[in-house]
Amino acid sequence: MTEKTGTCGCGRSPTGDCIGWHKLSEAEYQAKLDAYQRAEAEKAAAPSARTPE
């Protein structure tokens, strides 16, 4: 059985869903991927924005 993993057929999307990265050059793709990974790392390291009620 095959599991559907998203809408990206090129394999470049970090989310599995097509975000248009298939049309980027290799250099543009690497820059976008680096920026995405930095942003995800910052989100994971940031304390929660929620305030206790």
Number of separate domains in the chain: 1
Using DSSP, how many helices (H) and how many strands (E) does the chain show?
1, 0
Domain-embedded: residue 31: yes
Domain-embedded: residue 10: no
Tens digits of per-residue pLDDT, 14-49? 999 999 999 999 999 999 999 999 999 999 998 765
Decide: residue 12, CB within 10 A, 0-12 exposed, 13-18 middle, 19+ buried: middle
Domain-embedded: residue 52: no
Q: Which residue has the higher pLDDT, 10 or 47?
A: 10
**CA 21, CA 7: separation in Å to the nearest integer?**
12
Please list, in sequence order, all residues whose beta carbon lies within 8 angstroms of the beta carbon of residue 6, skipping any fewer than 6 positions away: 13, 15, 16, 17, 18
pTM of the model: 0.70
Domain-embedded: residue 51: no
Domain-embedded: residue 26: yes
